[in-house]
Structure 1
Amino acid sequence: MRFSILATVAFASSALAFPSLGSLLSRRTDCLTEAEAKEIVDIYVRLIANYQDADCEKYCADDFVDRSDSINTFIFKPLGEPTFATKKIFMEAQGSNPPFPVVVDAIDAVACEAVALRWHATFGAANLPSRGLTIIGTTKKTGIWQIKSLDVEFNSLIWLLNMGGNYTWEG
């Protein structure tokens, strides 16, 4: 009798500690699928490489933010601050940028609301591949997956050369 009481208590406490299969499955429906993650990456590439206001309006969340110390070095913003703190600021900046090729090398991770990818862009004066990493944060508040945040870092020295700039190494 004593064993059955202990077994019952142990079973009951483990049921509280572990979520049910039903709750796990219902949580999965609110997460990005691999196919949806690929669509988000395709949207990201369009936003960067072939910007159109309509894409940004539809696929960037109202509370969108873009962070990149790599870009901050070019636009003289302090490191660590948001590069484009709002969707409107991002739209203005992207609308004035010329298009450039972005090639996705790999989608390395898909989490419930985030996608990590590696990419490169080869263009301009030096025509060298500048490699980058992007973490795309998403949300589904409007019923469709939207980009809520971008965290982007890339080889800014190569990017500078591609833009026709130069640098001097002082060692």
Structure 2
Amino acid sequence: MRFTAACITASALVATAVAAPAPECNADQAPKEYNQHGRGYDISRVGRPGRPGRRVHAEHPTTAATLTFPATCTAVVTSIATETVRVTETYSYTVEPTSTSSPEYPSEDYNDCVTDEEADQMAEVFRQLIQDYSDDVALSALTEDFVDYASAVNILMNRGAQFPKNITGPTFDGRQAFMDGQGSQPKIPFERLNTFHGCRSVTVRWTTSRSANGQPTEQAMIPVVGIAVLDLVPAEPENEEYNWRIQTLYSEFNTLAWAVNLGLFTPAGPVDYINGTNTTAATVDKRSLDNYDPSLRGPMI
């Protein structure tokens, strides 16, 4: 009698199934198993007393083997789990840095960052531009395309109105515009409270108690606190004063306190007035293009 071995694909672990019992098979009826090491079929020793039957070799199985027996034998089905081999390939690559240099302000090293000392120097430049302004500092420390954003200043220029100065637009668009505006303003006392910096930015927290110093309408001395962010670019090699220059300035401060100090707003409670009296002018003209007085706008921080 001839037996066959049928192969099925195993996609998961399969439990062993045993058919209904039958008389023990004799040697002639013994099932055969495939020797995966190249020796063909061998005689199995299923049920032989004292030695358990040999099973299909499973050192490197790829399928489950099912053996078929005659009706007079005990059917034994051996399930062999399929081995799954996973191969993981690892790739490595280097991210090319995004260059922030430009032909006008070249930088040899993208990772070139502001040091603590340089950050302090640029924060001092910001203070000088407010308290001790000079064209020399502006020319050395500001880029030619310097832009200043300060909605606090813009709304003061509008006397509290939304127009005509664009509240969210640039206060000064260009270094020369800044020099023309700031250079014509009285100097005010200025104190740096904190200085923080990133790779190419410096943040200054500052205060002044005389924001309207030198203005003809100065009324009060309410302390004003503000914050400014200086966006920097590397200075040209020929710049003998600074390693960095300020390209963009973002500045905001307590506008209402500034307006009270300038005499543009009458407070509802007591404040520290200049000369000890409340001389806030109730007849201050509202903002208009016809009667706009640029001397009242305050320092252009």
TM over 0.5: yes
Which structure has more helix as a fraction of its residues? 1
Whether 1:140 aligns to 2:228 is: no
- What pairs up with 1:26-41 in 2 under 5 angstroms? 26-28=109-111, 30-41=112-123
- What pairs up with 1:74-113 in 2 under 5 angstroms? 74-76=156-158, 77-107=165-195, 109-113=196-200
Aligned-pair Cα RMSD in Å = 2.3
Distance of 2:167 and 2:233 partners within structure 1: 26
C-alpha displacement of 1:18? 9.7
Whether 1:16 aligns to 2:103 is: no
Flag structure 2 segments of 5+ consecutive residues without an equivalent: 1-84, 98-108, 159-164, 214-218, 238-242, 269-301
Identity %, equivalent residues: 28
TM-score, structure 1 as length reference: 0.81
TM-score, structure 2 as length reference: 0.48
- What pairs up with 1:50-69 in 2 under 5 angstroms? 50-69=132-151
C-alpha displacement of 1:16? 3.1
Distance of 1:93 and 1:49 partners within structure 2: 14
Q: Check conservation: 2:260, 2:267, Cα contact below 8 A.
A: no
Distance of 1:148 and 1:67 partners within structure 2: 11
The residue number in structure 2 matching 1:117 is 204
Instruction: State the AA in 1 paired with 2:223.
Output: P
The residue number in structure 1 matching 2:152 is 70
C-alpha displacement of 1:71? 0.3
Instruction: State the AA in 2 paired with 1:146.
Output: R
Q: Secondary structure at the match of 2:209?
A: strand
Distance of 1:151 and 1:17 partners within structure 2: 31
Distance of 1:16 and 1:127 partners within structure 2: 57
